[in-house]
Amino acid sequence: MRRIRVGVAALRTTPLGWDANERAITAALDEARRRGVRVLCLPELSLTGYGCDDMFLAPFVAREAWARLEALAPKTKGMVVSVGLPVAHRSAVFNASALLADGAIVGLAAKQHLPGDGVHYEPRWFRPWPTGEATEIERDGRRFPFGDLSFAVGDLTFGFEICEDAWVAERPGARLAKAGVDVILTPRASHFAFGTHDVRLRLVREGGRAFGCVYLYANLLGNEAGRVIYDGDGMIAEGDRLRAETERFRYAPFALADAIVDIDAVRLLRASRTSFTPAPAPAHVARAAFRVPDDAPDAGGSVSPRSLGKEEAFARCVALGLFDYLVKSRGRGYVVSLSGGADSAACAYLVRLMVELGLAELGGAAFRDALGHIELPETDDPARLTAALLTTAYQATRNSSATTRDAARAVAGDVGSSHHELEVDAMVQAYTEAAEAALGRELSWEQDDLALQNVQARSRAPSIWLLANVRGQILLATSNRSEAAVGYTTMDGATAGGLSPIAGIDKAFLRRWLRWLETEGTPGIAPRPALAAVTAQQPTAELRPASADPDDAQTDEKDLMPYPVLDAIERLAIRDKKGPREVHASLGAFFPEADAVARLAWTRRFFQLWVRNQWKRERYAPSFHLDDENLDPKTWCRFPILSDAYAHELRALAAEVEEAR
């Protein structure tokens, strides 16, 4: 029986981070060798980093990547290793993966299908390689096979499905299976989104089963380039049996999974199927004489993957994203303007989780070493480290309440931030009086409601920016996706900041997540009862004078509509691309208690606010991509700043509703 130990490594890469990427690859190689791994799959574009964007077109990038590949090759002595890099050939750049065997470059497979949707924009930089074609490239007088290749290394055969290649209908794996390939390597840069782990798991198992092979899936890890976070998902399948998977959301430079697989077993699986019809030997085969050594039998069976609930996945993903952002930006921590409400509390607790989860995995010394550009206390106490890494401030005006002030204090005390209370009402009045002098009249709530609300929110920005600048820390904007959809946020108020960690998540989920964190948590994430001071409140901007009648108090949902309604309309209109008439009809199924007139009011208000506030979404600080409901116009959801505002569609809908009454 032919048994070999195989592995997949998730790598924390940095665009153009040549030395850091090489260190991560080398560390993964060293650990793989220590475990006895003979075949190791590394992620897509792991030498350069995936997020180099237009710099992939810079000639020096491909040159440096090749130099790093040649330097890496000797480190693979006694192993077979795949590593990704851009390759320049005939005035074009290709996304390729090199196969190294026993210290030498055997050849390079080129990606055949390029994603150009969502956060991916590969056709801008790379060209798809034509199916069935191969050539040679020359480097320093030596020639290497390049293109649509399979690889014969001793008595084993290998093939590639590079990320998108595995998602298309006519995927290369089907041709590789007919050619009798034993191991399919799948280097990937597959970003985190809610639910993607289960989708990948099905793809890996189905690939191993359908193709009768060992299927190795390797992904990136961490916040690579700013907006996109990779969970480090790596999997090994033998046929349809999941044999191993990496630990996700790790803070270390890499995550490695390995298993002993039976090559004869997958060959038998393929041969025993009456539906299997072998094809002629592939036309383009790169060969190496190296024979991968056998390994002793392994009694291990299939593993049971651990699926994370949405709340835990959100916590671990964003906390990891904040950690990497801090490491790579070389900021000295974060600053949050604590309002006493849900959004700013979520940002503060996510920073605290960054500290707790990083310490739990790395330990105090390695955690501090990773943030070596910051002067941190020599301690493993998460509260003391959070105090050094997080500054918070409650900024009061005359419209602020004791409820929100106390809630902000409770949050700051629980997370352990360096907390301040600032009185900004004098600044608000100074701006107001200056405007009154210029206009020649007094401003009033009856006539100038929105302007008087906004000046309060904007008056908080200079002070919190000043604290951030003095401490060299990154100001976190605290606006969420629901607010972005309808522009219910003051530009240069809650949107002030250099990073917007919750702009990709809706308000209804954030409130649910805070209640989960308050009362439940999960292993490694303890409940936070202090959050009751926040979750007990109705969301409010607290920018109008308080009313003597509690029923007249300002709340977000009175200003807009119920958040569940808002989020339902956003998904229908933006994610699902439905027009006003379709949205109105769908709301009847989701909210049967609402009559047609109420649904018309909600629908009209959403579309009008959506169109009116595209300019705000264009100005948001970079946000984290978390799912296919993202509104970031720079990476996901394009919409014109100027349009006809659905005028025709809304008039027709209003007429239909009126006629039906």
pLDDT tens track for 365-418 = 999 999 999 999 999 999 999 999 999 999 999 989 999 999 999 999 999 999
Task: Tell me: pLDDT of 300 over 70.
Answer: no
Closest CA to 278 of 265, 287, 267, 286: 267
* Span 325-359, pLDDT tens digits: 999 999 999 999 999 999 999 999 999 999 999 99
CA atoms of 517 and 398, how far apart (whole Å): 31
Helix (H) or strand (E) run with residue 286 in it: strand 285-288
* Span 477-515, pLDDT tens digits: 999 999 999 999 999 998 999 999 999 999 999 999 999
Structural domain boundaries of the chain?
3-288, 309-424+462-541, 560-661
Helices assigned H by DSSP within 571-646: 580-590, 596-612, 614-619
What is the pTM (predicted TM-score) of this model? Answer: 0.95
Q: Which amino acid is present at 392?
A: T
Percent helix, strand and coil across the chain, each to the nearest 5: 45, 20, 40
pLDDT grade, residue 558 (50/70/90)?
A: confident
- Specify the pLDDT at position 539: 80
- Specify the pLDDT at position 1: 76
Residue 485, class by beta-carbon neighbours within 10 Å (0-12 exposed, 13-18 middle, 19+ buried)? buried
Structure tokens at 180: 């009798």
Structure tokens at 417: 């931030």
- Specify the pLDDT at position 395: 96
| Position with higher pLDDT, 533 vs 305 | 533
CA atoms of 408 and 345, how far apart (whole Å): 8
Q: Which amino acid is present at 607?
A: F
Closest CA to 343 of 490, 155, 553, 162: 490
- Residue for token pair 């949107």: 495
Specify the CATH number for 3-288; select among 3.60.110.10, 2.60.40.420, 3.30.300.250, 2.40.420.20.
Answer: 3.60.110.10
* Phi–psi pair at 241, nearest 5 degrees: -90, 120
* Span 607-642, pLDDT tens digits: 999 999 999 999 999 999 999 899 999 999 999 999
Q: For the chain, how many residues are written?
A: 661
Section 142-162 average pLDDT: 97
- Residue for token pair 């997370």: 415
> Do 480 and 502 contact (CB within 8 A), yes or no?
yes
* Span 86-139, pLDDT tens digits: 999 999 999 999 999 999 999 999 999 999 988 999 999 999 999 999 999 999
- Specify the pLDDT at position 544: 81
Pairing of strands 156-160, 235-238: unpaired
- Specify the pLDDT at position 258: 97
Q: Does domain 560-661 have CATH number 3.30.1560?
A: no
For 194, the 3-state DSSP assignment is coil
* Span 37-66, pLDDT tens digits: 999 999 999 999 999 999 999 999 999 999
Which residues are within 8 A (CB) of 403 and not within 5 positions of it... i.e. 6 or more apart?
Answer: 340, 537
- Specify the pLDDT at position 278: 79
Structure tokens at 265: 């077993």
pLDDT grade, residue 551 (50/70/90)?
A: low
| Position with higher pLDDT, 237 vs 170 | 237
Closest CA to 191 of 54, 307, 47, 43: 43
Q: What is the DSSP letter of 499?
A: B
- Specify the pLDDT at position 200: 94
Q: Does domain 309-424+462-541 have CATH number 3.40.50.620?
A: yes
pLDDT grade, residue 552 (50/70/90)?
A: low
Which residues are within 8 A (CB) of 170 and not within 5 positions of it... i.e. 6 or more apart?
Answer: none
Question: Dihedral of the CA atoms 254, 193, 347, 378 (nearest 10)?
Answer: -10
Beta strands in 48-191 (DSSP E): 80-89, 92-101, 104-110, 134-139, 142-147, 150-153, 156-160, 183-187
CA atoms of 579 and 656, how far apart (whole Å): 14
